[in-house]
Amino acid sequence: MKKTGAWLVRYALEQIGVRYTFGIPGVHNTELYDELNNSDSIQPILVTHEAGGAFMADAISRTSSSIGTLVIVPAAGAAYASAGIGEAYLDGIPMLVISGGVRTDVPYTYQLHEMDQQNFLNEITKKTFKISRHSEIIPTIFEAYRIANEGEPGPVFVEVPVNIQLFTGEVDGLPPFEPAPPQPVLVEAALVTKAAELLAQAKNPGIFVGWGARDATDQVARIAEYLNAPVSTTLQGLSVFPANHPLHTGMSFGPSSVPAAENAFRNCDCMLAIGTRFGEIATGSFGVKVTDNLIHIDINPRVFHANYPARVALEGDAAQVLELLWDAMQKLPEPVNERNNIREQILKDKDAYTQVWLQHDSGDRVNPLHFFRSLRKALDDEDFVVVDDGNHTFLTAELMPIHRSKHMISPTDFNCMGYAVPAVIGTKLANPDKQVVGIIGDGAFTMTCMEILTATNLKLGSVFFVFHDGELSQISQAQEIPYNRKTCTVLNGLDVSGVARATGARFLALERNVDCDDVVTKALQMARDNVPVIVDVKIDYSKRTRFTEGIVGTNLKRFNLGTKARFIGRALMRRVTG
């Protein structure tokens, strides 16, 4: 039979369960968009910028069972989308990127958008494909979907030249997509037994979980309770272990963590790390001390020993490996953990840290703790919180308890500012019956705020809380101590209400602590009318997070004496001279 390439792309995407595609039509993909418009199961979404489309696709993958999918033009579209593709790649998020391509049936070069896209995207994708004939389309997209989801997930790129999209070609048939059967975890039994013995013999065990444990919350909780072990998380894995569990301590476990985590892990003599790479943010700029008795579970063997050597490395899916570990632990004597009061100590430390924030005088601005208390009270556990990159990220990590896995998402290792506005839209599309809110710094908001037009056009009722202080505060705070000046981190002139008018969103202002409950509640009620709501939060950033204080201290300690003297002397001189 003969089919156009565009028809075959649509068929393949329908087969793998794609629900939405994101992008902008251009001369090299209009045939694809015309076919997608004929689909009964796929809705093509027009975005204002391909980077926004990539962040929406990322959120679809993080918060639903469907794979986030882009349909973009080559070259310029791929370049714009590369921010979101790179975020998905470093964060381990599956994504399918379908791109048009220049004609391959003509003898001409220097065509519009002509470039080697495979070479360009090679560093931020798991694999790239370029279609050369119609018969390749269906099997290639099926294979791309499999690669995107297997092992540590990530984006896969498929280029379909425009001539193949437009013209008909011969195919042998239209095979249905058949998911690969689950593969058993092949872990050496002796290693599992060794890990179980280390944990059972530990006097002060601790558990550190990342995004890779997102589908293993129950198994983590069962082992934590059995060992009476505190649990900390990475930033990306913040939701993986419920914050209302008495063994939850917070993000990270060293000098950049909150007191509950720092104290609980201070004398850790055996650590079970699950689904984490021990990356820079998770470790507070590598400022943590990791015990020699490290048991590391991850689906990607390349992370083992990369930053901290593991006594036992167990490769495989977190949930499956933890089941094996649990079975091995049941064959051993009861654990010897000596910290019977660990839960009481965690609660005491959390309460004390809350009091520190309550006692902080925010003047005529909103104290972050008051805001997050109101937000937590107003949201159900099944609602979603989407956080951008900036100082507000770590305020959220420290002050906003998350109770369900995969219900807080944030850019992490690629660390893209501008993520949250489009990611809120993607999350709401995938979860229309849930409240979805964004926590967004004013600097990040300026990057992608016009994407709220997309939310308005789609009648998506979500709330965008803009933490408005007039600075790129995470960096400006880091500049203060060593430089005593703020270079290119002061923002001027942002009228958040004007953005609401320009995008058709409703607008609220939050300027006082006493108004937090009323404004947050009103914003969520307004969003139920299927309109986006922007809340301009006059936030107080004067009190630094533990994360900011910790990483500044950690990095300053690494400077040699001469460099320290130069930095301190320069800062003091500038303080004196102004």
Q: What is the pLDDT of residue 335?
A: 87
Q: What is the pLDDT of residue 572?
A: 72
Q: What is the pLDDT of residue 177?
A: 95
Helices (H), 188-341: 189-201, 217-227, 259-264, 318-329
pLDDT (tens digit, 9 = 90+) per residue, 423-463?
999 999 999 999 999 999 999 999 999 999 999 999 999 99
Return the HEC string of 57-122.
HHHHHHHCCCCEEEEECCCHHHHHHHHHHHHHHHHCCCEEEEEEECCCCCCCCCCCCCCCHHHHHH
What is the C-alpha to C-alpha distance for residues 446 and 450, in angstroms, rounded to an integer?
8
CA atoms within 13 A on the CB side of 214: 23
CB 101, CB 28: distance < 8 Å: yes
Give the DSSP letter string of 514-573.
GGHHHHHHHHHHHHTTS--EEEEE-B---SPPHHHHHHHHHHHHHS-HHHHHHHHHHHHH
2-170 folds as: Rossmann fold (3.40.50)
CATH 3.40.50.970 domain span(s) along the chain: 2-170, 360-547
Flag residues of the chain having pLDDT under 50. none
Question: What does the radius of gyration of the chain's CA atoms come to, in whole angstroms?
Answer: 25
What is the C-alpha to C-alpha distance for residues 146 and 163, in angstroms, rounded to an integer?
26
229: number of Cβ within 10 Å: 26
Q: What is the pLDDT of residue 578?
A: 62
Q: Residue 321 pairs with which residues in a beta bridge?
A: none
Query: Token match 């923002």: residue?
Result: 491
CATH 3.40.50.1220 domain span(s) along the chain: 189-342
Q: Where are the beta strands (DSSP E) in 180-324?
A: 205-209, 231-233, 248-251, 270-274, 294-298, 312-315
Query: Token match 């972050």: residue?
Result: 368
Q: Which CATH superfamily is domain 360-547 in?
A: Thiamin diphosphate (ThDP)-binding fold, Pyr/PP domains (3.40.50.970)
| Paired tokens of 186 | 């092949």
Q: What is the pLDDT of residue 565?
A: 75
Q: Which CATH superfamily is domain 189-342 in?
A: TPP-binding domain (3.40.50.1220)
pLDDT (tens digit, 9 = 90+) per residue, 467-479?
998 777 777 777 7
What is the C-alpha to C-alpha distance for residues 537 and 318, in angstroms, rounded to an integer?
39
